[in-house]
Amino acid sequence: MVLRCSQMQPPGADDGGETPELHRQTFPASFRTQIAELTEGGRNIEDLAASFPALLFALATDYATPERRRVALDAILAGKKLKAVAQLLGLPFWLRRLPPAALTGPLPVLPDDPDFALTAVPALPRQPEAMLPWLDFISLADRLAGRDVALWFARHHRLTPPVAANAEALWTLAWAFYAKHPDTLAGRIQRRSWTPRTGPRSARDETANWRKRIEGLLALGTGFPDTWFANGTAMGYEFIALKGPEDLFAECASMRNCLDLYALRLGHMRSRLFSVRARGKSIATLELGLRNDEVGVP
């Protein structure tokens, strides 16, 4: 069952008579001093350790601006509802689901709209130590690539930290980001771009291919003047040397093949490519290079 924000029970709501000190001890040791100092301000603040740990943690770790923290603290002392206090601070109310053990570092800025909460709450990792890395990444995806990309990552936990390595997750995020910027070179070299319907396996495969194209571009640089052979004609066919990235990607688009993955071979001087044309139209692509089984024979 998906819990709506208004239905969510805070961790520790049934405290079994535990003292505030015991609640404070459930926070990571490196933040207990800050939390203890803040809870000296009154019982209402102290009770947050059980009723809304993330709110107490946010106030103790300089979340938002000093003015917003002051207003939020005044509202707590005045007995305002926790949802209203969270709104004053700019902290999503759905973060009430976070247990103290998950609060191992500063909380990121996250969306507070109901649709986002309905996706994010059931997608939260089960292990407390995995929650903050996941939230950090979802926040980054939202800020860089947009709400739709962030929600997509939230639904596919295998693509996000800590399940996926940070570097792998960032490459997938970059691939999704450039799918929205097809006017850039990094966007143009994508064969299949990200959509909200893309599955995890396709995302990994396409990101891997996109990385190979980027590596090839770096190897190619601006191109190479030495094509080994000049352009020519034979038996009614034209042989046109592909001299750089633009030639390569134009040929790839024309022939609808994976020619762009050859960029690394070209950049490392292992082969050269020629577009074979008839009546001005590409009909084949010819690769000239050294073969391992026929050394010296192109």
For the cut 50, the answer to whether the pLDDT of residue 2 exceeds it is: no
Query: Is position 29 within any domain?
Result: yes
Kindly state the average pLDDT of the residues 25-29. Answer: 94
* End residue of a domain, out of 196, 219, 242: 219
Query: Is position 140 within any domain?
Result: yes
- What's the pLDDT tens digit per position in 53-106? 999 999 999 999 999 999 999 999 999 999 999 999 999 999 999 999 999 999
Pair 40, 30 in one domain: yes
Pair 149, 247 in one domain: no
175: alpha, beta or left? (left if phi > 0; alpha if psi -120 to 50): alpha
For residues 115 and 136, what is the distance between their CA atoms, to the nearest angstrom?
Answer: 19
> Given this model, what pLDDT does residue 297 score?
39
**Which residues constitute the domain of residue 67?**
1-107
Pair 71, 153 in one domain: no
Query: Is position 198 within any domain?
Result: yes
For residue 69, what are the β-bridge partners? Answer: none
Q: pLDDT-based confidence at 298, cuts 50/70/90?
A: very low
For the cut 90, the answer to whether the pLDDT of residue 295 exceeds it is: no
Query: Is position 297 within any domain?
Result: no
Kindly state the average pLDDT of the residues 142-165. Answer: 97
Q: Which of 243, 237, 235 is nearest to 273 (CA)?
A: 243
Q: Which of 52, 32, 51, 42 is nearest to 74 (CA)?
A: 42
Looking at the 3D structure of the chain, how many domains does it have? Answer: 3
For residues 259 and 239, what is the distance between their CA atoms, to the nearest angstrom?
Answer: 16
Which regions of 248-292 does DSSP assign to beta strands (E)?
271-278, 281-289
Pair 99, 116 in one domain: no
Residue carrying the six token digits 């190619």: 220
Query: Is position 226 within any domain?
Result: no
* End residue of a domain, out of 219, 248, 278: 219
Query: Is position 275 within any domain?
Result: yes
For residues 68 and 87, what is the distance between their CA atoms, to the nearest angstrom?
Answer: 10
* End residue of a domain, out of 82, 107, 132: 107
For the cut 70, the answer to whether the pLDDT of residue 1 exceeds it is: no
Pair 103, 114 in one domain: no
Q: pLDDT-based confidence at 5, cuts 50/70/90?
A: very low
Kindly state the average pLDDT of the residues 30-55. Answer: 95
Pair 152, 166 in one domain: yes
**Average pLDDT of the chain, as a whole number:** 87
Preceding omega of 162 cis (within 30 degrees of 0): yes
For residues 209 and 206, what is the distance between their CA atoms, to the nearest angstrom?
Answer: 5
> Given this model, what pLDDT does residue 112 score?
93
Pair 4, 89 in one domain: yes
Kindly state the average pLDDT of the residues 112-141. Answer: 96
Do 248 and 264 meet the contact criterion of CB atoms below 8 Å apart? no
> Given this model, what pLDDT does residue 24 score?
83
Pair 196, 248 in one domain: no
Query: Is position 296 within any domain?
Result: no
Pair 130, 65 in one domain: no
- What's the pLDDT tens digit per position in 222-236? 777 788 899 999 999
For the cut 70, the answer to whether the pLDDT of residue 268 exceeds it is: no
> Given this model, what pLDDT does residue 6 score?
34
For the cut 60, the answer to whether the pLDDT of residue 9 exceeds it is: no
> Given this model, what pLDDT does residue 157 score?
92
Pair 117, 212 in one domain: yes
For the cut 60, the answer to whether the pLDDT of residue 156 exceeds it is: yes
More confident call, 168 vs 260: 168
For the record, the structure tokens of 31 come out as 């933040």
> Given this model, what pLDDT does residue 213 score?
84
Pair 204, 248 in one domain: no
- What's the pLDDT tens digit per position in 246-264? 788 788 777 776 766 676 6
Pair 158, 254 in one domain: no
For residues 184 and 18, what is the distance between their CA atoms, to the nearest angstrom?
Answer: 57
Q: How many CB atoms lie within 10 A of CB 87?
A: 16
Query: Is position 158 within any domain?
Result: yes
More confident call, 185 vs 109: 109
- Burial class (CB within 10 angstroms; exposed 0-12, middle 13-18, buried 19+) of 59: buried
